[in-house]
Amino acid sequence: MNRKTLIAGVIGTALLAGVPLLTGNPYYLHMVGTILIYAILLFGLDIVVGYTGQVSLGHAGLFGVGSYTAGVLFLKLGAPLWVIIPASIGVTAAFGALLALPALRVTGPYLAMVTLAFGTIIQILINEMDFLTEGPLGIKISKPSIAGIQLDEHAFYWLLLSLMVFSLVVVDRVLKSQLGRAFEALRGSPVASDCMGVSVYRYKVYAFVVSAGFAGLAGCLYSYSEQYISPNTYNFELTVLFLLAVIMGGRKSRLGSLLGAAIIVILPKLLDDLDMFRIVATVLAVGMALGAGVAIGRKLSTPRQMALPVVGTIALAAFSYWLESITDWRLSIFGLMILFVVYYLQDGIVGFVRGLWLRKATRLSGTPIADMAASSTAIRSAQNTGNIAVGDDLLKANGLLMQFGGLKAINQVDLNVKRGTIHGLIGPNGSGKSTMMNVLTGIYVPTAGSIVFAGQGIVGRTSSDIALSGIARTFQNVQLFGEMTALQNVQVGLHHTFRSNFLDVALKTPRYRREEAASVARGKSLIDFVGLTDLINDEARNLPYGKQRLLEIARALALDPQLLLLDEPAAGLTAPDIKELIGIIRKIRDHGITVILIEHHMDVVMGVCDQLSVLDFGQKIADGKPAEVRSNEKVIEAYLGGNAA
Amino acid sequence: MYRAVAPLVFQVDIMEILLQLVYSGIALGMIYAVIAFGYQLTFQTSDTLNFGQGDALMLGAMVGLTLVNHGVNFWVMLPIVVVFGLLQGAVVERIGVAPAIKIKSEFGWIMSTIALGIIFKNVAENIWGRDDLKFPSPLPEAPIKLLGANVLPMEILVVFGAIVMMLAVEFFNRKTIYGKAVVATFNDRDAAKLMGINTGLVITFSYALSSATAGFAGALIAPLTLTGATMGSVLGLKAFAVAIIGGLNSGLGIVVGGIILGVAETTTGFYLSTGYKDVPGLVLLLLVLALKPSGLFGKTAIKKV
């Protein structure tokens, strides 16, 4: 956290803390309190929606689990606050893990449906299990007491505020740590995460559990705040409202969550007042029309693009004068807001403002970051876990068969890769080279055959497990974590160097600080090594294609591999870049890292490879030194076509 | 004698009740199958789903009810509801899905179809009120004996109507040139585009068809259940369970899946509590997605890296 945000945070907290002193009105105090509670939930929801990029429609259900854990413990056992808060967090986190189980296998719309089903089941259970939850009657709860002193409204508000600030700090720290990077990597590219040793399964569950924990905390506080809970609160509309808050406030931003919470709490109250709504709608329509006029005038936008929002806002204003009561139309208004946010405000309010501000900022400064560390220390020499001498087989694949339906993409291939060599894998398009890579890294499980790496069989093990045992790779079609910076991408590769757990991160223990500092230094030197020093803080998706390939190599090296698989690293590179690449590959080998290289640029292949294997239609047709392979008749036939019969 | 007879009577009773539960389960299941069929239609052309499918069904039922209350004959009403469904589906696609496909945002279409669903439901609440309404049955309400158990004529109509609707769409897809465009878009959207097929239009059309089948299903089922603004939401979700169980690309699957779920539900409702009747479908959905996401009848897609 830098100084500016720290100061802003302190001022903001102080202002919020002053609210009870400024207004004696319990209505407003309760409203701000609700905003704080929702903010806690949204911090958690943002982990799932903003960082791992999944749509969760189950958070109202989780919120309900938290509320009802508090309610039931209070009702049945008369439990005190210090028992109820951890219990609510724990129980809800467990439900989060349960929710994550089906979520392991599915993503996108399927996951959305799973979470929706989950939320619906929770609501049904709360309704039906009346022996525990009192069913539709609901549960009454009184304000908590601490050390025998009953909290009044002011004291409870301060309790809420301190828990909100606590949650904010914890979430912020977690998301800026290796855990947050792992969550974000899932969104960027699940396959690449697995191949960097960051298990998609594990971190998806992790994200859901952490997220659910915050939902539980929020739910428990909500029970105390409302002093009465009933099943109907935790419905589909609430879950959609939460999502609206996250995307409208701004994904991946704590400020955005706070803003979103304020919007969904205050807006319905505003909407209760029809005159107010008419004014707001009119101002919005006029503003939109003027804005569109300016945008078209300055040629920032075409009349066609602007037509829909302008007509929409004018229609909304007209609609507001036709209406007699607005409360009934609340949900439609929220629906329209979602549509608007999804198409015109994708980065939320915070993202939009940041975008405006950044555009100005980049105009002012553009100086590259200075060279930080010597690159000679960047690559760590390969460890020799299997005690395999240079020149012996590091990787032995026997009788590999990979069948997709009737197609044998790899057919009875043996592959022996000697330690410390650069082993080229060539063949015409569709000959099974990339399939081979995917089999070696556990993305596909071979139909038959065995693979022994450093003395251990790897068939059937998960991608992340194989990655951690020392096989790193790059991808033919670049699989970077697009929204993360170059440095963060490499840091995901360094995930295996972290031993810190959630608590270390939340408390910023010396261990975590040390590991984080080390990963930054190491990441920088790896980026220097591939020559991307100037682009270290650029988002990966904004890098030129060739540079993206180099960044993938840096990220793979961060895994400290014994074996590095490079899938067409020279594709899309310019001639000088290719020369540099050859140098990089050689340097990698000089550190004792074995390399398997798939490449179509024959000059690269013939220049750097010690050994070559040639595939054609899934079968290995030749093996040997580059010179031998070059004169092999079968190879020539495969590449240039045989004599017509 | 006395002892021997009593258990026998009891057994017959159980069989009769079970059979009756199976009958109404099948009728309900066919409705799920039709909605699930609607999911398949859009999923095939564009890999997207209408999260407001249940609300399309509700709108079909509500519009049908209004027509019937204004003296329109039930059989005349059905085609009008189908036309209404076509329009509604096209609107959903144009507003909610097409822009999202353009910017390739999965989050976008999920959220916007949810948003449109909420809006439709809210509008329906404001037009038709929040209370459930009774839909007059076009057929006699006296049950018919079939294999010893009672079945409502309306239930038979539902099963029959659902099958006809699905067959009609299948026939269209397989036998007409327009249908071939739909199938081509399903197989490879980009290639279809290059062959001069207006894929955008095909996708809009698939949404129109999808909502039309849902609306049709709504008008069919309405006389058997209560009709109201909230009737769609859970139906849509459970039909998704059916679509998943059956596999998003298997026609037979959804009929089987629908019937399994329908029967599971009527029996749960009878033996456990009607409050729990939605639970089996939802649990089934969670289980299938956790264990075999491609569905019981679907094919697993190979992920390419």
Domain boundaries, chain B: 35-239
CB of B290 within 8 Å of any CB in chain A? yes
**Are the C-beta atoms of residues B59 and B220 closer than 8 Å to each other?**
no
Within 8 A of B95 by CB-CB distance, chain A residues are 339
**Residue A393 domain flag:** yes
Within this chain, do residues A416 and A496 fall inside the same structural domain, yes or no? yes
Which residues in chain B are contacts of A241 at CB distance < 8 A?
A: none
**Is A432 among the domain residues?**
yes
Judged by CB atoms closer than 8 Å, whether chains meet at A237 and B118 is answered as yes
User: Which residue bears the tokens 């036998």?
Assistant: B175
CA dist list (Å): B112 to A106, A528, B101, B233: 21, 44, 12, 16
Measured CA to CA, the distance from residue B127 to residue B111 in angstroms comes to: 24
pLDDT in tens, A491-547: 999 999 999 889 999 989 999 999 999 999 999 999 998 888 888 999 999 998 888
What is the distance of C-alpha A413 from the center of its chain? 37
User: At how many degrees (to 10) do helices A200-226 and A26-46 cross?
Assistant: 170
Count of domains observed in chain A? 3
The answer to the question of residue A405 being in a domain is: yes
DSSP string, A378-431: TSPPPP-TT---TTSEEEEEEEEEEEETTEEEEEEEEEEEETT-EEEEE-STTS
End-of-domain residue from the set A311, A329, A364: A364
A319 and A432 belong to one structural domain: no
Same domain assignment for residues A176 and A84: yes
In a shared domain, residues A225 and A78: yes
ipTM confidence: 0.84
Alpha carbon A537 to chain centroid distance?
18
Asked if residue A133 lies in contact with residue A231, where contact means CB atoms within 8 angstroms, the answer is yes
pLDDT tier for residue A219 given thresholds of 50, 70 and 90: very high
Strand (E) or helix (H) holding A594: strand A594-598
pLDDT over 90 percentage in chain B: 17
Distance from CA of A337 to the nearest CA of B (A): 8
Tokens, residue A542: 């904004």
What kind and span of H or E run contains A146?
strand A145-146
Out of A108, A334, A443, the one facing B106 most closely (by C-beta) is A108
**Are residues A106 and B289, on separate chains, in Cβ contact within 8 Å?**
yes
pLDDT of residue A374: 42
Give residues 218 to 237 of B whose Cβ lies within 8 Å of A: 233-234, 237
User: Are residues A105 and A200 in contact, defined by beta-carbon separation less than 8 angstroms?
Assistant: no
Question: For position A320, what pLDDT does the model report?
Answer: 79
d(CA A636, CA A616): 11
User: pLDDT for B85-140, tens place per residue?
Assistant: 999 999 999 988 888 888 877 888 999 999 999 999 999 998 888 888 888 887 77
SS3 A567: strand
Q: What is the mean pLDDT of residues A592-612?
A: 90
Query: How distant is the Cα of B48 from the closest Cα of chain A, in angstroms?
Result: 8
Q: Which residues of chain B are within 8 Å of residue A336 when distances are taken between CB atoms?
A: 115, 119
Q: What is the DSSP letter of A645?
A: -
Model pLDDT for residues B161-209, shown as the tens digit of each residue = 888 888 888 788 777 777 777 777 777 777 888 877 788 888 898 899 9
Q: Residue A371 has what pLDDT?
A: 40
Give me B208's structure tokens.
Answer: 């129109």
B128 in reach of chain A (CB within 8 A): no
Any CB–CB contact under 8 A between A124 and chain B?
yes
- Residue B113 tokens read as 């179809």
> At residue A225, does pLDDT exceed 90?
yes
Q: What is the pLDDT of residue B141?
A: 76
Distance CA B100, CA B93 (A): 10
Contact A120 B122 (CB under 8 A): no
| Same domain, residue pair A309 and A411 | no
Asked if B240 reaches chain A (Cβ–Cβ under 8 Å), the answer is yes
Name the residue among B40, B88, B77 with its Cα closest to residue B208. B88
The two three-digit tokens of residue A614, written as one number: 């040639």
Contact A84, A146 (CB under 8 A): no
Instruction: Name the B residues in 42-71 with CB < 8 Å from any A CB.
Output: 48-49, 51
B274 touches chain A (CB under 8 A): no
Q: Which stretches within A298-347 are classed as H helix? A: 303-322, 330-344
In a domain, A19, yes or no: no
Nearest of A399, A401, A398, A396 to residue A447 by alpha carbon: A401
Question: Does the distance separating the beta carbons of A102 and B289 come in below 8 Å?
Answer: yes
pLDDT band at residue B58 under the 50/70/90 scheme: very high
Q: What percent of chain A has pLDDT over 90?
A: 40
Please choose, from the candidates A547, A546, A545, the residue with its C-alpha nearest in 3D space to the C-alpha of residue A486: A547
Distance CA A424, CA A578 (A): 16
CA dist., res. A250 & res. A258, Å (int)? 10
C-beta atoms of B112 and A339 within 8 A? yes
Final residue before a domain boundary, out of A364, A396, A414: A364
A52 and A166, same domain (yes or no): yes
Among candidate residues A308, A339, A364, the one where a domain is terminated: A364
3-state DSSP percent of chain A in helix, strand and coil, to 5: 65, 10, 25
Closest by CA to A91, choosing from A140, A128, A33, A132, is A132
Quick one: A433 and A343 in the same domain? no
B53-69 and B199-221 helices, crossing angle to 10°: 60
On the question of pLDDT at A76 being above 50, the answer is yes
Q: Are A569 and A581 in contact (CB under 8 A)?
A: yes
Residues A562 and A580 in one domain: yes
Q: Copy the structure tokens of residue A23.
A: 């207004």
> Given B107, B114, B286, which is nearest A240 (Cβ)?
B114
Q: How confident is the model at residue B282 (pLDDT cuts 50, 70, 90)?
A: confident
A329–chain B Cβ distance below 8 A for any pair: yes
Q: Which residue in A has a C-alpha nearest to residue B238's C-alpha? A: A117
Check CB contact of A332 with chain B, cutoff 8 Å: yes
Place of tokens 């409302």: A226
* Least confident range of A189-203, A270-284, B205-219: A270-284
Query: Domain of A559: which CATH number?
Result: 3.40.50.300
pLDDT greater than 90 at residue A260: yes
Chosen for mutation from A104, A121, A237 (greatest number of chain B CBs closer than 10 Å) is A121
Closest residue on chain B to A329 (Cα)? B122
The alpha-carbon gap from B161 to the nearest alpha carbon of chain A, in Å, equals 28
Determine the pLDDT at residue A643.
58
Type of residue at B69: N
Which residues fall within 8 angstroms of residue A164, CB to CB, at 6 or more apart? A36, A37, A39, A40
For residue A101, the chain B residue with the least C-alpha distance is B290
Q: Measured between CA atoms, how close is A573 to chain B, in angstroms?
A: 20
Read off the pLDDT of residues A17-66 as tens digits, 9 standing for 90 and up. 888 888 778 888 999 999 999 999 999 999 999 898 888 899 999 999 99
And the tokens for B276?
A: 């729990």
Closest CA to A489 of A537, A424, A450, A452: A537
Q: Kindly give, in sequence order, each residue whose CB lies less than 8 Å from that of residue B216, ignoring residues fewer than 6 positions away.
A: B34, B60, B78, B81, B82, B85, B161, B165
- What residue in B sits closest to A346 (Cα-Cα)? B108
Cβ B237–A113 below 8 Å, yes or no? Answer: yes
User: What rounded mean pLDDT belongs to chain A?
Assistant: 86
| Residues A416, A294 share a domain | no
Residues in chain A within 8 Å Cβ distance of B286: 102, 114, 117-118, 121
pLDDT in tens, A328-356: 788 888 898 888 888 888 888 888 888 77
Whether the Cβ atoms of residue A195 and residue A24 lie closer than 8 Å to each other: no
- Which ranges of A453-501 does DSSP label H, i.e. alpha helix? 463-468, 486-493
Residue numbers in A near B234 (CB within 8 A): 120
- Give the nearest chain A residue to B290 (CA atoms): A102
Amino acid at B174: R
B283 touches chain A (CB under 8 A): yes
Tell which of B107, B113, B238 to mutate to test the A interface (max A CBs under 10 Å). B107
**Contact between A30 and A240 (Cβ < 8 Å):** no
Distance (Å, rounded) from C-alpha A70 to C-alpha A218? Answer: 11
Question: What is the band of B1 on the pLDDT scale with cuts at 50, 70, 90?
Answer: very low
Contact (Cβ atoms closer than 8 angstroms) between residue A353 and residue A360 = no
Q: Among residues of chain B, what percentage have pLDDT more than 70?
A: 90
Whole-Å CA distances, B217 to A48, B232, B249: 36, 11, 20
Assess whether A128 and A49 both reside in one domain.
yes
Please list every residue in chain A whose beta carbon sits closer than 8 Å to the beta carbon of residue B275.
124, 127-128
Mean local confidence (pLDDT), A622-645: 79
Per-residue pLDDT at B6: 44
| Residue range(s) defining the domain that contains residue A52 | 39-266
- Chosen for mutation from A104, A342, A475 (greatest number of chain B CBs closer than 10 Å) is A342
Give Cα A196 distance to the centre of its chain: 14
Closest partner CB to A332 (pick from B122, B278, B302)? B122
Residue A257 in domain: yes
Asked if the Cβ–Cβ distance from A343 to B110 is below 8 Å, we say no
DSSP, residue by residue, B32-54: HHHHHHHHHHHHHHHS---TTHH
Q: How far is B285 from chain A (nearest CA, A)?
A: 7
Domain for residue A572, yes or no? Answer: yes
> Smallest Cβ distance to A335: which of B48, B115, B276?
B115
Nearest CB to A114; choose among B51, B279, B286:
B286
Question: Chain A within 8 Å of B303 (Cβ-Cβ)?
Answer: yes
Residue A42 phi, psi dihedral angles, 5° rounding: -70, -35
Q: How far apart are CA A151 and CA A166, in angstroms?
A: 19
User: What mean pLDDT comes out for the span A213-220?
Assistant: 96
Task: Give the least confident one: A278-282, A467-471, A568-572, B300-304.
Answer: B300-304
Q: Do B119 and A335 touch (CB under 8 A)?
A: yes
Q: What is the pLDDT of residues A531-569, one digit of tens each?
A: 888 889 999 999 988 889 999 999 999 999 999 999 999
Measured distance CA(A377)–CA(A381) in Å, rounded: 9
Residue A504 sits in the same domain as residue A631: yes
Nearest CA of chain A to the CA of B45: how many Å? 15
What are the DSSP calls for chain B, one per residue?
Answer: -HHHHHHHHHHHHHHHHHHHHHHHHHHHHHHHHHHHHHHHHHHHHHS---TTHHHHHHHHHHHHHHHHHTT--HHHHHHHHHHHHHHHHHHHIIIIIHHHHHTT-HHHHHHHHHHHHHHHHHHHHHHH-SS-BPPPPSS--S-EEETTEEE-HHHHHHHHHHHHHHHHHHHHHHHSHHHHHHHHHHH-HHHHHHTT--HHHHHHHHHHHHHHHHHHHHHHHGGGS-B-TTHHHHHHHHHHHHHHHH-TT-HHHHHHHHHHHHHHHHHHHHHT-GGGTTHHHHHHHHHHHHH-TT-SSSPPPPPP-
Q: Is residue A424 part of a domain?
A: yes
Residue A32: inside a domain: no
Q: Mind listing the pLDDT tens digit for each residue in B11-49?
A: 557 777 888 888 888 888 888 888 888 888 888 788 888
| Alpha carbon distance A78, A95 (integer Å) | 23
Question: How far from A288 is each of A264, A308, B177, CA to CA, in Å?
Answer: 22, 11, 44
pLDDT in tens, A158-206: 999 999 999 999 999 999 999 999 999 988 888 999 999 999 888 989 9
B32: left (phi over 0), alpha (psi -120 to 50) or beta: alpha
